[in-house]
Structure 1
């Protein structure tokens, strides 16, 4: 038994010596050059994932719903916005699809005037800013919008009742 162990160790030592003695072969594989540190800026673009939930107002600054989804064609162009109208916590909500180009996106908050009881939480009673009636196009941005990657709200020229009377949008399976 001892002879077998010694023979095994000797054989292993001979094989290891032969492996170390071989010169390395030249290969064409070289390490990839170090990646240059580049950053891209998309300050004039909005994240689609952040568009869901953006409030939609009409020209009279009345909240008429919120964006639930964006539908695009096979080339990646957004064609329709699915807006949820009515309902409470998603229950009883009426979904309608409107042409995306009919929406105007605004970066500034909606103008609120009146008492603090009618203003949303965190907004002072005397707040007066530009709102839906002074809508801008989809490509306009401000530092406020760029920092949060989505517009403050959208404007669609219809009343809540007009949207509720539009044909309901359903996702086909």
Structure 2
């Protein structure tokens, strides 16, 4: 009979250990989930100073700083990294009335942005000629 008591007590202890281990694992999982949850959303009521909207760029002409400010293409899209920073602009170049035009992606750091005299619109310049953009490799959007 003495052998049965320790075996019986051991059998009762196993579920208690499993329950304790599950509770600890659940607490660790909850702590990990809390640390990976995105922070609560914040909202803007007006445009912060020193920022602009994407539509301030799209549709604008890109001017050549080497060819007397000639219009050399139109911004059709922005390439934005996962960090939210603009990586490049997609510029439609060449063609006539939208026919035969190709897209070229110009890195953001290659552009010069200034505001026009009114301060309403941006003037976008790149240190390249229209010929250089037309000869550049076409940007293929995936």
Please indicate the TM-score interval, normalised by the length of the shorter structure. 0.5 to 0.7
Q: Does 1:166 align with 2:141?
A: no
Structure holding more helix per residue: 2
Distance in 1 (alpha carbons) for counterparts of 2:97 and 2:50: 32
Mapped partners of 2:61, 2:100: distance in 1 = 17
Q: Report the CA distance between 1:49 and its aligned residue.
A: 2.6
* Residue 47 of structure 1, aligned match among 50, 53, 56: 53
Indicate whether 1:104 and 2:74 are aligned: no
User: What is the alpha-carbon distance in structure 2 between the residues aligned to residue 169 and residue 68 of structure 1?
Assistant: 12
Deviation string for 1:103-135 (max 9, x for gaps)? 0012126xxxxxxxxxxxxxxxxxxxxxxxxxx
Task: List gaps (5 residues or longer) in structure 2.
Answer: 1-43
Q: Structure 1: which 4+ aligned runs deviate by more than 4 Å?
A: none
Q: 2:102 aligns with which of 90, 94, 108?
A: 94
State the match for 2:127 in structure 1.
157
**Greater RCO (Cα-Cα under 8 Å, separation 6 or more):** 1
| Higher mean displacement: 96-105 or 46-55 | 46-55
Q: 1:1-173 alignment to 2 at 5 Å?
A: 39-59=45-65, 60-108=68-116, 144-145=119-120, 150-151=121-122, 153-172=123-142
**Larger fraction in strand:** 2
- Superposition CA RMSD, Å: 1.9
**Counterpart residue number, 1:112:** none
5+ long unaligned stretches in structure 1:
1-37, 110-142
SS in 2 for 1:95: strand
158 and 74 in structure 1: CA distance in 2 versus 1, 3 angstrom threshold = same
Quick one: structure 1 residues 50 and 41, their matched pair in 2 at CA, closer, same or farther if it must change by over 3 Å?
A: closer
